[in-house]
Chains A and B, each alone.
Chain A
Amino acid sequence: MLRIKRVPTVVSNYQEDETENVSRSTGCGRNCLNKCCIEGAKIPLYAFKKLNKISGSKGLCCEYENSVPPVAFLDSLLLGEWEDRMQRGLFRYDVTACETKVIPGKYGFIAQLNEGRHLKKRPTEFRVDKVLQPFDGNKFNFTKVGQEEVLFRFEANENGNTQFIPNDAIDLENSPSVVAINVSPIEYGHVLLIPRILDCLPQRIDRESFLLALHMATEAGNTYFRLGYNSLGAFATINHLHFQAYYLGVPFPIEKAPTKKIMTLKDGVIISELLKYPVRGLVFEGGNTLQSLSNSVSDACICLQENNIPYNILIADCGQRIFLLPQCYAEKQALGEVSAELLDTQVNPAVWEISGHMVLKRKKDYEEASEENAWRLLAVVSLSEERFQEVCALIFEVIDTVDAENTEGSSSMPEEHDDGCLKEVEARNNTTRPLPMTGTKECLV
Chain B
Amino acid sequence: MELPLGLIEQSLNSRYSLWVREALNDLSDNFTITDPCIAGHPIVFVSPGFLKMTGYTKEEVIGKNGKMFQGPETSRSSVMLIREAVREEKEIQINLLNYRKDGTPFWVFFQMTPVFSKEDGQIIHFVGVQVPILKNSRKSRCGFVRIQGDSHENEFRACKSFLGSCRRELMSDSISELDCTLNRDSQPDSNSRGVEIEEPCEACDDEKQRAAIAISNILFVLTHHSEVTGGLVCERRCSLPRVGILCSSLNTSLNRIKQSFVLTDPNLPDMPIVYASDEFLKLTGYTRCEVLGRNCRFLSGIDTDSSTLFKIKESLQSEQACTVRILNYRKNKSSFWNDLHVSPVHNASGKLAYFVGVQMDADDKKQDEHGLNPKTKQLSTVGAVKVAVRSLSMTVGCSQG
Q: Check A83–B382 contact: CB distance below 8 A.
A: yes
Q: Give the residues from 248 to 272 in chain B that come closer than 8 angstroms, CB to CB, to chain A.
A: 253, 256-258
At the interface with chain B, which of A8-16, A62-70, A141-149? Answer: A62-70
Across the two chains, which residue of chain A brings its CB closest to B64?
A66
At the interface with chain A, which of B72-80, B215-223, B235-243? Answer: B72-80
- Give CA–CA (A248, B151) in the complex, Å: 13
In the complex, A320 has a CB within 8 A of chain B? yes
- Give CA–CA (A251, B77) in the complex, Å: 10
At the interface with chain B, which of A99-107, A396-404, A431-439? Answer: A99-107
In the complex, A375 has a CB within 8 A of chain B? no
Q: Mark B362-395, 1 if CB is under 8 A from A, else 0.
A: 0000000011110111111011101110111011
Q: Check B83–A98 contact: CB distance below 8 A.
A: no
Q: Check A256–B151 contact: CB distance below 8 A.
A: yes
Across the two chains, which residue of chain B brings its CB closest to A56?
B72
Across the two chains, which residue of chain B brings its CB closest to A259?
B77
Q: Check B371–A165 contact: CB distance below 8 A.
A: yes
Least CB distance from B221 to A in Å reads: 29
Q: Check A79–B395 contact: CB distance below 8 A.
A: no
Q: Mark A70-83, 1 if CB is under 8 A from B, else 0.
A: 11010111111111
**Among A84, A247, A258: residue with most chain B CB under 10 A:** A258
Cβ of B150: which chain A residues have Cβ within 8 Å of it? 102, 104, 108
State whether A87 and B321 are in contact (beta carbons under 8 Å apart), knowing that A82-B383, A100-B348, A188-B387 are contacts in the complex.
yes
Cβ of A250: which chain B residues have Cβ within 8 Å of it? 151-153, 391, 394-395
Residues of A within 8 Å of B, CB-based: how many?
A: 65
Cβ of A79: which chain B residues have Cβ within 8 Å of it? 379-380, 382-384, 387
In the complex, A23 has a CB within 8 A of chain B? no
In the complex, B170 has a CB within 8 A of chain A? no
Cβ of B377: which chain A residues have Cβ within 8 Å of it? 76, 80
State whether A71 and B370 are in contact (beta carbons under 8 Å apart), knowing that A55-B72, A57-B74 are contacts in the complex.
no
Cβ of A102: which chain B residues have Cβ within 8 Å of it? 150-152, 394-395
In the complex, A110 has a CB within 8 A of chain B? yes
- Give CA–CA (A442, B117) in the complex, Å: 66
Q: Give the residues from 316 to 358 in chain B that come closer than 8 angstroms, CB to CB, to chain A.
A: 321, 343, 345-346, 348-350
State whether A65 and B156 are in contact (beta carbons under 8 Å apart), knowing that A56-B71, A80-B383, A100-B394 are contacts in the complex.
yes
Q: Check B157–A65 contact: CB distance below 8 A.
A: yes
Cβ of A140: which chain B residues have Cβ within 8 Å of it? none
State whether A249 and B196 are in contact (beta carbons under 8 Å apart), knowing that A56-B72, A83-B382 are contacts in the complex.
no
Q: Check A71–B380 contact: CB distance below 8 A.
A: yes
Cβ of B392: which chain A residues have Cβ within 8 Å of it? 249
State whether A255 and B77 are in contact (beta carbons under 8 Å apart), knowing that A79-B387, A83-B380, A110-B394 are contacts in the complex.
yes
Q: Check A275–B196 contact: CB distance below 8 A.
A: yes
Across the two chains, which residue of chain A brings its CB closest to B65?
A66
Across the two chains, which residue of chain B brings its CB closest to A97?
B350
Q: Check A97–B346 contact: CB distance below 8 A.
A: yes
In the complex, B137 has a CB within 8 A of chain A? no
Across the two chains, which residue of chain B brings its CB closest to A110?
B394
In the complex, B229 has a CB within 8 A of chain A? no
Q: Check A96–B350 contact: CB distance below 8 A.
A: yes
- Give CA–CA (A87, B379) in the complex, Å: 10
Residue in contact with B391 in the complex, picked from A55, A66, A248, CB distance below 8 Å = A248
In the complex, B84 has a CB within 8 A of chain A? yes
State whether A276 and B74 are in contact (beta carbons under 8 Å apart), knowing that A71-B257, A80-B380, A249-B253 are contacts in the complex.
no
Residue in contact with A73 in the complex, picked from B83, B372, B384, B386, CB distance below 8 Å = B372
Main secondary structure of the interface of A (DSSP, over half): mixed
- Give CA–CA (A259, B145) in the complex, Å: 13
In the complex, A137 has a CB within 8 A of chain B? no
Least CB distance from B396 to A in Å reads: 8
Cβ of B84: which chain A residues have Cβ within 8 Å of it? 251, 256
- Give CA–CA (A51, B346) in the complex, Å: 37
State whether A104 and B176 are in contact (beta carbons under 8 Å apart), knowing that A255-B77, A260-B197 are contacts in the complex.
yes
Least CB distance from B17 to A in Å reads: 30
- Give CA–CA (A427, B290) in the complex, Å: 69
In the complex, B70 has a CB within 8 A of chain A? yes
Q: Mark A26-40, 1 if CB is under 8 A from B, else 0.
A: 000000000000000
In the complex, A388 has a CB within 8 A of chain B? no
Cβ of A66: which chain B residues have Cβ within 8 Å of it? 1, 40, 64-65, 67
Cβ of B1: which chain A residues have Cβ within 8 Å of it? 66-68
State whether A80 and B258 are in contact (beta carbons under 8 Å apart), knowing that A65-B157, A66-B1 are contacts in the complex.
no
Q: Check A96–B196 contact: CB distance below 8 A.
A: no
Cβ of A99: which chain B residues have Cβ within 8 Å of it? 348-350
Q: Check B380–A65 contact: CB distance below 8 A.
A: no
Q: Check B197–A261 contact: CB distance below 8 A.
A: yes
Q: Give the residues from 64 to 121 in chain B that come closer than 8 angstroms, CB to CB, to chain A.
A: 64-65, 67-68, 70-72, 74-77, 80-81, 83-84
In the complex, A189 has a CB within 8 A of chain B? yes
Across the two chains, which residue of chain B brings its CB closest to A317?
B76
Cβ of A189: which chain B residues have Cβ within 8 Å of it? 383, 387
- Give CA–CA (A177, B77) in the complex, Å: 32
Across the two chains, which residue of chain A brings its CB closest to B196?
A260
Q: Check A56–B349 contact: CB distance below 8 A.
A: no
In the complex, A223 has a CB within 8 A of chain B? yes
- Give CA–CA (A275, B197) in the complex, Å: 11
Cβ of B156: which chain A residues have Cβ within 8 Å of it? 65
Residue in contact with A68 in the complex, picked from B39, B76, B193, CB distance below 8 Å = B39
**Among B194, B258, B321, B387: residue with most chain A CB under 10 A:** B387
Q: Check A56–B74 contact: CB distance below 8 A.
A: yes
Cβ of A164: which chain B residues have Cβ within 8 Å of it? 370-372
Nearest 6 Cβ contacts at the A-B interface: A249-B391, A108-B151, A79-B383, A80-B380, A70-B258, A80-B376
**Residue contacts A-B, CB under 8 angstroms, 25 given:** A65-B156, A70-B258, A76-B372, A77-B380, A83-B382, A84-B376, A87-B379, A96-B346, A100-B390, A102-B150, A102-B394, A104-B150, A104-B176, A106-B193, A164-B371, A166-B372, A248-B391, A250-B394, A251-B80, A256-B84, A256-B193, A258-B75, A260-B196, A261-B197, A285-B76
Q: Known pairs A79-B387, A102-B395; list 4 more (Cβ under 8 Å).
A: A69-B256, A80-B379, A81-B379, A94-B346
